[in-house]
Amino acid sequence: LRILLVEPAVRKPHANVRVLAGRAAPPDATIAVGPEGGWTAAEVDAAAAAGFEPLTLGARTLRADAAPAAAIAVLQHIWGDL
């Protein structure tokens, strides 16, 4: 599983990580977190072309240093090992 965390205000609407709840837990995951200010459209497109799924953590924009911990906690909650 490859996830590109995007801000909710990104130009295109992206799915919330909750879409992962219907999937089996993967053996591993890669989570790409962008810089403060977010990814550029070209970076989002390049990551998607490389197999990353652009997803948000919800309606709030998180700081780049807080997003990784939040993402891991959400994924562990979704797949039941938190």
Domain boundaries of the chain, sorted by first residue: 2-78
Q: b/e per residue, 44-76, with b = 16+ CB within 10 A?
A: beebeeeebbbbbbeeebbeeeebeebbeebbe
- Single-letter code of the amino acid located at 12: K
Q: What is the mean pLDDT of the chain?
A: 88
| Mean pLDDT, residues 4-26 taken together | 81
| Mean pLDDT, residues 48-54 taken together | 95
| Mean pLDDT, residues 4-12 taken together | 78
* CATH fold for the domain made of 2-78: Alpha/beta knot (3.40.1280)
pTM of the model: 0.83
- Kindly state the percentage of the chain with pLDDT values over 90: 41
